[in-house]
Structure 1
Amino acid sequence: MSMNVRVGTRGSALAVTQTTTVAEALASAGTLGYELVRIRTEGDVLKGSLAQIGGTGVFVAALREALLDDRCDVAVHSLKDLPTGAAEGLEIAAYPQRVDVRDALCARDGLDLAGLPAGAKVGTGSPRRAAQLRAARPDLEVIDIRGNVDTRLGRVRGMHGPEVVEGKKGDLDAVVLAAAGLKRLGRTGTITELLDPSVMLPAPGQGALAVECRSADAAAETVLSAALREYDDESTRLAVTAERSLLARLEAGCSAPIGALAARQDGKLVLEAVVCSPDGQRLLRRRMDAPAEGTGAALDLGVRLAEDLLAEGAAELTPLAGH
């Protein structure tokens, strides 16, 4: 008997695109139909920088409320938007296979980061990207921006996005966005350089999605729970578990100037992290590895690297709660 799954999503083009991909994958893994349930979140309504309106968690609360109120059966999040704390009654039942983790420079005239002239204006809404941009190119002017992907691209001189902020068309020389989002939207033609993690370490969880559902539904033996288990990618789960464990131990929040990236290499899980001062003048970068032996080992790896960073003075570079 076919089951119809209600899949919660934000209303942005990127959110709908990635949610549809998840819904179709779950449907193909079981005898499932699906419908998308669009949820308007606080982050879609409030103006101002992410730091001012409460960080990226503002995109998550309404989706979680919809799950708990039984208005949808699963919710799809960009993992880097998801707070590290557990939500009572909910759990992440699947991490789909991660896509490109890198940040992408989208610049006028095909320029790369090294080719931007001194004083060029580069837009980003991320303190992490801003700090690492300033570290790599202290002669650039980093501008805080918000808006969906096309709105941001429309602010780059010579790039014509369909959505433009009034009075702010072509006022920037470049923007930095997640490569994964650009690829999901078919906007790879706007990328002028994929920034190597040695230059810009991504946000914990970047390039990964999280499929969240009610804990009771994850534990039940249903077509949906089986599809979620099949959809979960072990390598992605281990990597993002380590990254988010580090973030949680630092008590940093999603919008802190902190990058982290883990990956399986030769039977080990290797985790690298950077903590930046907001002005990019000071960076603390460390790496550590552990046997890739399950989520417990991944959690421990994140905590141990965070402890190392704290011992080296991470809390002196940027405000960390509890430190």
Structure 2
Amino acid sequence: MSVRLGTRGSALATAQSGQLADAVVRAGLARGTRVDVELVKVTTKGDVDRGSLVGLSQTGVFVTALREALLAGECDFLVHSLKDVPTASFPGLEVVAIPRREDPRDALCTAGALLDELPRGARIGTGSPRRAAQLLARRPDLDVQPLRGNVDTRLGRVGDGLDGVVLAAAGLNRLGRGADATQPLDVDVMVPAPAQGALAIEIRDDAPADLRALLAALDDAPTRAAVTAERAALATLEAGCAAPVAAYATVAGETLSLHTRVIGPDGRLALNERNHGHVSEAEAIGRASAHSLLGRGAARLMGRA
């Protein structure tokens, strides 16, 4: 059985696609089927024309291009970083599996200092309003600077104009650079982005049954329940990737616990909501959390009021 996996050409995208391809091969062997996976690199407008992204969601541009390639038959399935995928469904496609989640935490990368050891006024780089706001909530004295670029570019700024950067631990791990994390930040200090660390495997609605069954075998039920709750909260808040919104769920047995946080850009005011319930109610738990936050003024913190 030969299948084509669509991926962006960035180092992180190809690394996680390669790891997913290996998992698909192993899943095939477990079913008594030899599977050959070809990586098909999809070049998006955002990859070749950074100026085209001004005023747009970068992740939305990339995800849409990959999805269009899948619908056009250029590949047979996709793998996304789920935190980058819009919460609205995409006609003609479906998420067939969400594998077991990687480390969901954010990681502080410095020359050696931990977050509470950084000197006053230390310059920390991040491109995420969520990370920036939570850094300032913990350390109002920090000088948080905007930061773009791939992982190597961002890490290269440590000691070159910045005292540290904050990146996703999952991305570092997938690139084999987990040792560059000076301090994985506790999820109560830095609540992760919804679905951070999770991957989504997407296929066409009309995908062959054997491909669908093969990929579905990679689904991890606790991870799917957790990210369903997180993304339901995000969707109900009507917040995009630029909003300072965080959500993290855990599953213990049949109980799902969700912590959702909306925080002002300067970190001075944060609204937190903690809900729990049966894993089968994951989406409802996420929606209820978001409605509670909206009732307490979350829209204002997100700049919508």
Task: Please indicate the TM-score interval, normalised by the length of the shorter structure.
Answer: over 0.9
**Rounded Cα–Cα distance in structure 2 between residues aligned with 1:43 and 1:285:** 35
Partner of 2:3 in structure 1? 5
**Rounded Cα–Cα distance in structure 1 between residues aligned with 2:261 and 2:285:** 15
TM-score, with normalisation over the residues of structure 2? Answer: 0.94
Partner of 1:152 in structure 2? 154
**Rounded Cα–Cα distance in structure 1 between residues aligned with 2:141 and 2:51:** 25
Partner of 2:246 in structure 1? 259
Per mean C-alpha deviation after superposition, the further-off stretch among 279-288 and 173-182 is 279-288
Cα deviation, 1:61-117, whole Å, max 9, x if unaligned, reads 110010111101111111110000000000111101001000000012x00100111
The Cα of 1:240 is off from its aligned counterpart by 0.4
Letter of the 2:168 partner, please give it: A
Work out which of the residue numbers 303, 309, 318 in structure 1 matches 2:293: 309
- What is the alpha-carbon root mean square deviation over aligned residues? 1.6
Per mean C-alpha deviation after superposition, the further-off stretch among 49-58 and 254-263 is 49-58
Identity %: 55
**Rounded Cα–Cα distance in structure 2 between residues aligned with 1:172 and 1:42:** 30
**Rounded Cα–Cα distance in structure 2 between residues aligned with 1:49 and 1:139:** 35
**Rounded Cα–Cα distance in structure 2 between residues aligned with 1:309 and 1:284:** 7
Letter of the 2:115 partner, please give it: L
Cα deviation, 1:256-306, whole Å, max 9, x if unaligned, reads 11000011124211110100111211111111001122xxx1111111111
What SS is found at the alignment partner of 1:114? helix
1:194 aligned onto 2:202? no
Is the 1:27–1:34 contact (alpha carbons within 8 Å) kept by the matching residues of 2? yes
Structure 2: stretches of 5+ with no match in the other structure: none
1:58 aligned onto 2:61? yes
The Cα of 1:254 is off from its aligned counterpart by 2.2
Partner of 1:287 in structure 2? 274
Partner of 2:283 in structure 1? 299
**Rounded Cα–Cα distance in structure 1 between residues aligned with 2:219 and 2:59:** 24
1:210 aligned onto 2:213? no
Superposed structure 1 runs of 4+ greater than 3 Å apart? 45-53
TM-score, with normalisation over the residues of structure 1? Answer: 0.89
Partner of 2:113 in structure 1? 111
Structure 1: stretches of 5+ with no match in the other structure: 158-169
1:87 aligned onto 2:90? yes
Partner of 2:175 in structure 1? 185
Per mean C-alpha deviation after superposition, the further-off stretch among 201-210 and 50-59 is 50-59
